[in-house]
Each structure stands twice: as structure tokens, then as C-alpha cells.
Amino acid sequence: MDLTFRPRRLRRTATIRAMVRETSLSPQDLIYPLFVKEGKGVREPIASLTGQFRFSPDTVASEAKAAWALGVPSVILFGIPDKKDPVGSSSWTDDGVVQRAVKAIKEVVPEMVVITDVCLCEYTDHGHCGVIRDDQVDNDATLELLAKQALSHARAGTDMVAPSDMMDGRVGVIRKALDQEGFKDVAIFSYAVKYASAFYGPFREAAGSAPQFGDRSGYQMDPANSREALREVELDLEEGADLIMVKPAMAYLDIVSAVKRISAVPVAAYNVSGEYAMVKAADAKGWIDGQRVMMEVLTAIKRAGADLILTYFAKEAASLLRG
Ligand code: PBG
């Protein structure tokens, strides 16, 4: 056979393959999601997320430290309060679980970047991401509550607030509130493009945040849409988002890629709970090699254009990457 081009020449040895590899993955790219509940010494396994736990503010600090030791630079915190009510008031109390977890982590690993999820669904008794008026989530009434929550995270010392509620205008309202209170350096990491996805199932089990009636399609995006994602990004950038996120990741790599092309700020993708749970479940069955699939998935998310990946695999992938 007389072939001029033989792409296999560059696949011949591991060294050549490493030389021509287009995408690299490093522990620095990873953000580790952590669940925090009330109590002390808590380390409660989450059934639907093999290898993940609910922590109390004290134990979450040690977990963050362990991730930091593996080269993971950042965590994102989700609160599971003892008390829920119609407006989610336990989300903005200065002694709330997330607020205490931020302080605890900052004490133990001061350099670690702490991101706090800003949303009401974990704190409302109806499980929706905002306040309900006439059976609908009221956008504008929700905004001031999100700003209150973001401010209380800022007072606790968070580095970045990550609004995940999908209310229109929240980035602008939160930016204004932070600036007015002197938190000019607290960044906004916006869940700019968040789809109404069934892949959030295990998270909702972990946080007890499933909606008690209806679903989230009235505020989260329709999985069928992609141009709308670009509009969401434009709006969040105009309102002052410092980083933006696409969520979920695996079934939305076309969106990650399209968003990356138009975004002047860093783009993250959230490798969500259902994506993690599927890999773990198939691995447990012996149907796939979980570790290899994990690395393939994370590499593919980066290849699509993500600068950062939020993933429950953070510690496991980081320890593998460090050899
Ligand atoms: C809160 C929030 C959710 C997730 C992140 N922030 C749940 C939801 O929107 O129902 C999901 C993350 C995951 O599935 O890993 N609004």
C-alpha cells in the first residue's frame, strides 16, 4: 500500500501520543461539590452518589483540605438546612450551615477558593428555586431573597457566589447588592445555562430538594434549545458575571463549545450528579471500567471548551492524575 498520509504514525508510541495530545486535564481544572448539613462529626454516605457524603461544617473542612492536598483548588458548597419554609429563610442567616462551612474551610485551608451555590430550592418546603405566587415561581420577588443569601455568604467569607436558580436578572441584582455592601471582590460564577434536566435526580435526593409539585421547566431551560443558551450568556455577561457555567455537561457538549466561542470570561461545565451516578452504577455492575470512563468524560468536557469542570470525581480524578 502506498499511502502518503498515515495518521497512525503519530499514534505509534505513548511518548508521541503525549507530544501531539491536544487536550490536557489537570487537578487545577476541577471544582469539588460538597453537601453540608447541621451537626458535628457528620460523614453520611449519599446512597445515590457512591463515594460522596453529607458533611457537617467541621468535617467538610477536612474534606476540603484533603481535596486541596490533591491539587484541587476549589470547592462549591450546597446547604441542607434542618428547617425549611416557604421563602427559604434559613439560607440567609449568618449562622447557617453554608456560612459556617465557609468559615471552617477558610480557617483550615485559607488559600482554597470557596464557591457557594445561591438558590432557594434546598431551603424551601415546596422545593422550588424561588417564592411561589399563584402556583408559579415569582421571578422578581425571588431576586431580593437571592441577594440576601449572596450577601450572607459574602459576610462569611466566600470567594464566589454561584446563583443556580435561573431567575431573570439575578446576576445584576446580586452584583449591585454585593457592591453596595463593599464586597466588590466577591465574584459571580453564574449558572448561565442551566437546563431542566433529569440528570439532577441524585443531587435532589442528596439535598432533599425535589420540587413538591410540578417541575422546574418554568425557569430552567428546555433541553431542546441551543440558541437560547447564547442569549442567556449574553445577558449574564452584561449583568456582570465573572465566570459562567453550562449544566449538565455530557449531553450538552455542543452547548459548551458554542458558549466558549462567544464568552470572554472563563467557561465551566457541571458534570452533574446523574452523570456521576451512571458511571458509578455501571462500574459497580462490571459493565464499564469506571476509572477510564471518568477520565474520558472529563477530557471530553475540556476538549469541548470548558476551562473548569465541577465534578464529584474531583478527588478521584486528581489522585489518578498525580499518579
Ligand atoms: C440547585 C442546584 C441543583 C444542582 C445544582 N444546584 C439542583 C436542581 O436544580 O434541581 C444540581 C447538581 C447536580 O445534579 O449535581 N438549584
Q: What spacing in Å lies between the alpha carbon of 204 and ligand 1's midpoint?
A: 7
| pLDDT tens-digit map of 168-203 | 999 999 999 999 999 999 999 999 999 999 999 999
- What pLDDT was estimated at residue 259? 98
First vs last C-alpha separation in the chain:
41
pLDDT score of 288 more than 90: yes
**Interval 1-30 mean pLDDT:** 97
Domain boundaries, the chain: 25-321
| pLDDT tens-digit map of 50-76 | 999 999 999 999 999 999 999 999 999
Q: What spacing in Å lies between the alpha carbon of 130 and ligand 1's midpoint?
A: 14
- Pocket lining: 129 vs ligand 1, CB cutoff 6 Å: yes
0.85 exceeded by pTM: yes
* Buried-exposed string 126-157: b where 16+ CB fall within 10 A, e elsewhere: bbbbbbbeeeebebeebbebbbbbbbbbbbbb
- DSSP states along 147-207: HHHHHHHHHHT-SEEEE-S--TTHHHHHHHHHHHTT-TT-EEEEEEEEB--GGGHHHHHHH
Contacts for 95-99 with beta carbons within 8 Å, 24 or more apart? 96/152, 97/36, 97/37, 97/38, 97/56, 97/57, 98/36, 98/153, 98/156, 99/152, 99/153, 99/155, 99/156
Q: What spacing in Å lies between the alpha carbon of 181 and ligand 1's midpoint?
A: 28
Mutate to test the pocket of ligand 1, among 75, 203, 219 (most ligand atoms within 8 A of CB): 203
For all residues of the chain together, what is the average pLDDT?
97
Report which residue type is found at 210. Answer: A
- What pLDDT was estimated at residue 106? 98
- What pLDDT was estimated at residue 30? 98
Report which residue type is found at 192. Answer: A
Q: What spacing in Å lies between the alpha carbon of 270 and ligand 1's midpoint?
A: 10
Going by C-alpha positions, the residue among 51, 57, 62, 168 that lies closest to residue 116 is 57
pLDDT score of 82 more than 90: yes
The alpha-helical segments, DSSP class H, found in the chain are 14-19, 57-69, 97-108, 139-156, 170-180, 201-207, 227-239, 253-262, 273-285, 290-303, 314-321
pLDDT band at 246 (very low <50, low <70, confident <90, very high): very high
- Pocket lining: 203 vs ligand 1, CB cutoff 6 Å: yes
- Pocket lining: 87 vs ligand 1, CB cutoff 6 Å: no
- Pocket lining: 77 vs ligand 1, CB cutoff 6 Å: no
Active-site residues, by number, are: 194, 247
* Buried-exposed string 59-94: b where 16+ CB fall within 10 A, e elsewhere: bbbebbeebbebbbbbbbbbbbbeebeebbbbbbbe
- What pLDDT was estimated at residue 260? 98
- What pLDDT was estimated at residue 323? 86
Mutate to test the pocket of ligand 1, among 117, 164, 193, 311 (most ligand atoms within 8 A of CB): 164
| pLDDT tens-digit map of 291-304 | 999 999 999 999 99
- What pLDDT was estimated at residue 294? 98
Q: What spacing in Å lies between the alpha carbon of 135 and ligand 1's midpoint?
A: 21
User: What are the residues whose beta carbons fall under 8 Å from the beta carbon of 277, sequence distance 6 or more?
Assistant: 48, 49, 50, 201, 202
In the three-class reduction of DSSP (H, G, I as helix; E, B as strand; rest coil), residue 269 is classed as: strand
CATH architecture, range 25-321: Alpha-Beta Barrel (3.20)
- d(C-alpha 72, C-alpha 133), whole Å: 41
**Ligand 1 atom index nearest CA of 276:** 15
- Pocket lining: 313 vs ligand 1, CB cutoff 6 Å: no
